[in-house]
């Protein structure tokens, strides 16, 4: 959180690369992205633009549904966990 608040782009990149959960809220209810926006740390905010998060756990997601390509997942475990809910919309999105 503090890295986003202070605009330390390299630290935030490292956290994102290592799947650190940056969407947690601090005691005041702010997220890392929210803090970066408030402090006008544009380089840090830009790092979040292309980040996809897992539909299940909100961690960094590098995989997506093979059929519809619309829903992102961090791991196969999350995709399997979400299949019952996602399968209803998957055909429509494909």
16 vs 31: CA distance, rounded Å? 14
pLDDT of residue 59: 80
Secondary structure of 19-85 in the HEC alphabet?
CCCCCCCCCCCCCHHHHHHHCCCHHHHHHHHCCCECCCCCCECCEECCCCCCCEECCHHHHHHHHHH
Strand-pair partners of 45: none
Encode pLDDT of 33-72 as tens digits.
676 677 676 666 666 667 788 899 878 788 999 999 999 9
Residue 18 has pLDDT above 80, yes or no: no
Domain ranges of the chain: 1-49, 52-94
pLDDT of residue 19: 59
pTM of the model: 0.57
């Amino acid at each position: 959180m503090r890295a986003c608040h202070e605009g330390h782009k390299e630290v935030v990149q490292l956290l994102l690369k290592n799947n650190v959960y940056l969407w947690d809220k601090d005691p005041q209810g702010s997220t890392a992205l929210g803090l970066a926006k408030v402090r006008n740390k544009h380089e840090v905010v830009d790092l979040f633009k292309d980040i996809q998060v897992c539909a299940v756990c909100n961690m960094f997601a590098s995989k997506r549904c093979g059929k519809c390509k619309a829903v992102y997942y961090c791991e196969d475990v999350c995709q399997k966990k979400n299949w019952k809910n996602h399968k209803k919309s998957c055909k429509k999105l494909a």
